[in-house]
Amino acid sequence: IASVLAYLFLSEKLSKAKIFSLIAGVAGLALILQPSAGGSAEGNLAGLATGFSYAFFVLASRRLSGKLHPVVTTFWMLILGGLGLLAFSQPQKLLSLTPSGGIMLAALSILIIGAFLLFNSAIRSLSVSTASIILLVEPLAATAAASAFYGEKYGPLALAGYALIGLGVLSALKE
């Protein structure tokens, strides 16, 4: 999504490798979203909505990268994103966190801030399409973690879809 928008609105060029990566990513996503691959319609729609929000995030980050320091971009991105997520949150649950849950939340927050700082630093020298294709590693890592830590099972279609997305990411990295 971000690559197409960058082509349309930022005049970014799409090389053959990026086009291949996009086709592989979309084909992989289509396999993952098949009803027989598992998952729910609500989850699939939430995933697509996430794709559109990521596209906006990558485009906005690229546009701001030349104007603002990555720390400033990350600060405002996290503040605005956090405010947006308040609509879906249950703040009273934060008050009932155990000490170990609080430590885990703090550690995850630090990791997330670090990841976004790295991304906002890298987007200064990456094209939107390359950055958005590389971001496809996140769902692959989340899937692997869900399988390793929670025993989630994925059918052959979903696994083929993840393989296609991984192939698309590798193709984009070679460029």
Contact 133, 25 (CB under 8 A): yes
Which tokens hold the place of 91?
């703040």
Please say if the pLDDT value at position 35 is more than 80: no
Q: What is the pLDDT of residues 57-76, one digit of tens each?
A: 888 888 888 899 999 999 99
- Tens-digit pLDDT profile for residues 98-145: 889 889 889 989 998 998 899 899 888 888 878 877 777 777 787 778
Predicted TM-score of the model (pTM): 0.68
What does the alpha-carbon distance between residue 172 and residue 175 come to, in Å, rounded to a whole number? 6
Tens-place pLDDT, residues 6-17: 888 888 888 888
Kindly state the greatest CA–CA separation across the chain.
Answer: 52
Between 1-5, 79-83, 115-119, the lowest mean confidence (pLDDT) is in 1-5
Which band of pLDDT confidence, cut at 50, 70 and 90, is reported for residue 39?
low
Residue 175 pLDDT: 66
pLDDT at position 72 is: 94
CA-nearest of 1, 135, 127 to 65 is: 127
Contact 70, 122 (CB under 8 A): no
